[in-house]
Amino acid sequence: MDEPSKRKQVLGRGFNSLISENFDTSILLNSDTRIENIPIDSLQPNPNQPRKHFDDKAIAELSSSIKRHGIIQPLVVTPLKDGKYTLIAGERRWRAAKHAKLKNVPAIIRSSKELEQLEIALIENVQRVDLNPLEQALSIEALNKQFGLSFEVISQRLGKATSTVNNIVRLLQLPEEAKVALSGGKITEGHARALLSLKEDSTRQAYLLKTIIDQSWNVRQAERFVISIKEGIKETKKAHERTLSETPATKKLSQKLGTGVHIRRMAYGGKLEINFADDNDLDRILDQFQK
């Protein structure tokens, strides 16, 4: 099996397969879905759209892009009477298309019943225990993009904190190799969040991923590496060294005291941890300091 095929297998089973077997998958948005050109004046915003403010500058920029490239991602609408439609997803694109003076826009028409079915299926899907984190993220993203639901609304329907939902979806911003590692169980969600903290520094992000895997770093070590970078340490080697719990100095002290000694670095400063077996052992160690 070639590498791209392996990667595709690792990253998940495909969005359609994430829905339960008895679900009518024909209503999902996929490459075979029929896209229709709908008169732009026949569309109206969804009154339940949680987003009320649209930045004029951003709309103008999107409008310029639409003039050059067209609308790449179709809108999702549901029919009303008299040939009118309500926008389910894509109000920003619709506003930009109006700004670009388009007469028609590409859209996928879904009945209210179909939308309700799909929304329920996706909500149930996110709550499945057999999904890996990236598959959960794909389901939440679908709720956001196909229904125009804010992450706050999605979190309420899932019974999760909004911050939890946001953190899950952020996993989709991971580089491809990190997604493969997360889906394959080589790194955890905690590792993934540390990697995301370095998304503006792809070189050290890749270094951190490799080090986590090759040296079996725990989440705390990955976080310490990120903290070192954020504190302004420019040399990757030096940032790496700050993650170590043992140094030549701690090893020397450990030999002198006859017990384990470790460094625990924090955002500011850190702790020096000295192990002891019981109170008698503690007294023995304290005596060493007085010699």
Catalytic residues: 91
Q: Work out the number of other CB atoms within 10 angstroms of the CB of residue 284.
A: 15
What amino acid occupies position 77?
A: V
CB 186 within 8 A of CB 213: yes
CB 108 within 8 A of CB 27: no
Q: Work out the number of other CB atoms within 10 angstroms of the CB of residue 64.
A: 13
Bridge partner list, 43: 85
Instruction: Give the contacts of 167 (CB within 8 A, at least 6 positions apart).
Output: 189, 193
Burial (0-12, 13-18, 19+ Cβ within 10 Å), 99: middle
Radius of gyration, CA atoms only, the chain: 26
Dihedral over alpha carbons 159, 150, 28, 20 (to 10 degrees) = -10
